[in-house]
Amino acid sequence: MAAEVRWLVYVLLICFCSIFSGSNGTLPHRRFEYKYSFKPPYLAQKDGSVPFWQYGGNAIASADNVRIAPSLKSQKGAIWTKYKTNFKWWEVEIVFRITGRGRLGADGLAFWYTAERGSYDGTVFGSSDKWVGLGVMFDSFDNDNKHNNPFIMAVANDGTREFDHANDGSSQLLAGCLRDFRNKPFPTKAKIEYFNNVLTVLFHNGMTNNEQDYEMCLRYENVFLPEEGYFGLSAATGGLADDHDVIHFLTTSLHPPGQEPPPSQKVSVEEQQRLNQEYQEYQKKLEQQRDEYQREHPDAKKDKDEFAEWFESDNQRELRQIFSVQSQVFDVLKDLHRKLDEVIGRQERTLSLISQQPVAAGSPPGTAPQMIDTIRRHEVDMVLQNQNAIIQVSREIRGFIGEVHARSDQILQNQVRQPTAQVQSVGYDMASLVSEMRDGMNQVKQNLASLQRVSGQSQTTCPPCLSTTTFLIFIVIQLILMLGYTIYRENVAVNRRRNGFLPRGKLDVSFLLWGGRIKRWRPRETVSGFVLAKGKQQEMKSVGKSEGCRTVVSSPEVVLKCIPIV
């Protein structure tokens, strides 16, 4: 049964993956753009500059990060790329920290993609207002006093609108999410993707060190941005101050299938030979330096297992394979979770459209308003059913992952207990057989324990049995009583016969006393009572019925006795 459920989970997982992958089409081609990125170590050069970037205001660049705005009052700073992008679609991953002493902080950090570079001391999170492009703001201060901060929002501008500071841009944002990104144990991360006019923002809350622990923050379609622009980061502080540190800024260009960028120029044969020769020379120098070090330090301990560490054992290979499978399953679950968040977002937008139901403009008063043709109720129910099915499959897959994790822990424990020189691989059939035998033995133990409990209860509740002596005495008394009753009955019958009194019943008149002799007489009939039959010389009369059979005289010469049939 477990194997069937496991295969069913596999099939459903493959189906869902195929559905989601089919909905998005083929994945785009990705290429890392180093000219639009920075990361440690050696983030800043000795002169304090960042390659391919320029910063100003109160920003400070170091070897490990770029502090856009320090934790001082009324500080502003920004950093921008030197060159415009030469690709239309992109993905940016930002790793940052916003830390402060108090429970509240200000003002926040902003990511920019604009047609022109902004200023370094502007009014919108340290950058210029009325920008042309996109701004993703990490707002940490609640200006409108609605208790909805820290907040992440995306705002697009065509260069004509001023940012609404009083309302925290709530009337201008495309979408947003309420997430806390201040004072986290690990750096917080944001992944901003713009592909096929769809803007997606994923957020990592910094509570774990897992690089794949992203969650959906917002997704908005039909976003049109300039095809070429500058990337930038800015931050600002006010009466409250936080440190705004950016550690990574990694840019990846996205290209649809069939529109891949031309590959970089290949290295010529002469260049390859020159590089190989330089590598061999460096390798020889390294060996010479190592030999000299060993001669100068003969007492230094030599690592005998230096080359053995280069190869992995069978156990390590098996654990690595298990870990890779778990990682793949976890990545698929994350993708399913992200897709599910997208579906939920679309569902919420659809429900909001249904609830609004605007009236067509220009309709005369008194007429029925024209309703916009939106999603039907059965379509909403179908979306909810699909959502529930996806959640159920995700739970089953999570349970399967837990089972795999438990088995991997069991393998590790077994490897720790048993010696390394006698490790043997056990197949899945053998493991299943051992588990079945263990289950059978447990069932036998349970049955024996239940039988012992039942037998103990029966012994304690059973009444004391009759002894053999008592039983024999009872039988002898019963036999004596029966024998006495039989003898008594026979004596009573004999006495009655002697006295001439017979009981009621069917009587046979079979003997006739004639002149002092008893003569055999065959009666004509037998009735209740007795009958007198006609003799040879004497006619007999019927006496009739009587209560008992006694001596009856029918004439002076004849005496009749009624004898019962025996």
- Lowest-pLDDT choice from 48-62, 173-187, 465-479: 465-479
Alpha-helical (H) ranges within 300-427 are 314-356, 377-417
pLDDT at residue number 235: 95
Q: pLDDT by residue (tens digit) across 289-320?
A: 888 888 888 876 555 445 556 666 778 888 88
pLDDT at residue number 112: 96
pLDDT > 90? residue 78: yes
Give the domain ranges of the chain: 1-27+322-354+376-408, 28-255, 501-566
Beta bridge mates, 154? 136, 175
The CATH code that applies to domain 28-255 is: 2.60.120.200
- Give the model's confidence band at 153: pLDDT under 50 very low, under 70 low, under 90 confident, else very high: very high
pLDDT > 60? residue 66: yes
Pairwise CA distance, residues 410 & 420, whole Å: 16
Type of residue found at 253: S
Q: How far apart are the first and last CA of the chain?
A: 82
pLDDT at residue number 400: 84
pLDDT average, residue stretch 182-206: 94
- Lowest-pLDDT choice from 19-28, 253-262, 272-281: 19-28
pLDDT at residue number 372: 53
- Lowest-pLDDT choice from 72-76, 139-143, 296-300, 353-357: 353-357
pLDDT > 60? residue 33: yes
Quote the radius of gyration of the chain (alpha carbons, Å).
Answer: 54
Q: 82-100 burial, b for 16+ CB within 10 Å, e for fewer? A: eeebebbbbbbbbbbbbeb
Closest CA to 191 of 254, 120, 115: 254
Q: pLDDT by residue (tens digit) across 421-433?
A: 444 455 556 677 7
Residues 6+ apart with CB under 8 A from 138: 98, 108, 109, 110, 150, 152, 181, 190
Closest CA to 220 of 198, 205, 239: 198
pLDDT average, residue stretch 469-481: 89
Pairwise CA distance, residues 435 & 430, whole Å: 9
Type of residue found at 298: P
Beta bridge mates, 560? 512, 552
pLDDT at residue number 362: 47
- Give the model's confidence band at 223: pLDDT under 50 very low, under 70 low, under 90 confident, else very high: very high
Q: Are 510 and 520 in contact (CB under 8 A)?
A: yes
Q: Which has the higher per-residue pLDDT, 68 or 466? A: 68
Opening angle at CA 438, ends 435 and 441, nearest 5: 155
pLDDT average, residue stretch 91-106: 91
pLDDT at residue number 500: 55
| Helix, strand, coil percentages, rounded to 5, for the chain | 35, 25, 40
pLDDT > 50? residue 545: no
pLDDT > 80? residue 486: yes
